[in-house]
Structure 1
Amino acid sequence: MSYPKLGLDEESVRELLGDYLLCAEVVALRVSGASNLPVCRDADDQPFLVLARGGDTDVLVTRDKTLLGLDRKTGFKIETPVMFRRGFEGVTRSNG
């Protein structure tokens, strides 16, 4: 959240994280199955795959091209934010 390209000052980051944490859910990680994951070219990305697998994630949402290239190799979907939002088009509170 502190990436310069996001243009967020420290106060904005705190506010955004506070809002995010209200919607976040703590999950117990399953360590089993992590060894079956593909190895990311960028070692900094590997924890996201492990967390997604351990938390029984259906979809990992990212803009990271390296992670997106691993879709169909993980047992869960890896989508861009735009792709993820498309899955909710036409869905309302009353029908979905």
Structure 2
Amino acid sequence: RADLFTRRDCLEELQRVLAYRQFAIEPARQIELYAAYVARAHCLPDADEAQLTFAASLPKCKDRDDQKFVSLAWDAGAHVLVTRDKLVLGLSRKTPLRDKLAILTPERLQQFLGSTSP
């Protein structure tokens, strides 16, 4: 079973990404995709002071805009963060992330899930 987690700042990023020209997604379809994601995701509250303090100790992503996804995964207690972003994937080898959070491409996750099915 997989649960999706998000936060307000991550949802704002999703809206921006859905509108990127290179994806050529029609505005009506962007709304559908966004609504479908929101309906399935658990929306966590904005990070509190303690979470922000701890997040400062997590490995830093070179693209500051992506740090929110690492912090969200950590705060949610996620076991896996799925991404294609090479800079985020590179964080998978750093402590404390490597001990608690697998950072995988969608393809790698699919391979892993396929290898664990009965």
Same fold (TM over 0.5): yes
1:79 alignment partner in structure 2:
104
2:61 alignment partner in structure 1:
40
Higher relative contact order (CA 8 A, sep 6+): 2
TM-score normalised by structure 2 residue count: 0.68
1:2 alignment partner in structure 2:
19
CA deviation profile, 1:19-56 (whole Å, cap 9, x unmatched):
11221112355716323311111111111111111111
Q: In structure 1, list runs of 5 or more residues that go unmatched.
A: none
2:8 alignment partner in structure 1:
none
Number of residue pairs matched?
A: 92
State the alpha-carbon separation in 2 of the partners of residues 80 and 36 from structure 1.
Answer: 24
User: In proportion to residue count, which structure has more helix?
Assistant: 2
**Matched letter for residue 85 of structure 1:** Q
| Dislocated runs of 4+, deviation >2 Å | 26-30
- Cα pair 1:33 1:53 within 8 Å, conserved: no
TM-score normalised by structure 1 residue count: 0.81
**How much identity, in percent, do the aligned residues show?**
34
2:83 alignment partner in structure 1:
62
Q: Over the residues paired in the alignment, what is the CA RMSD in angstroms? A: 2.0
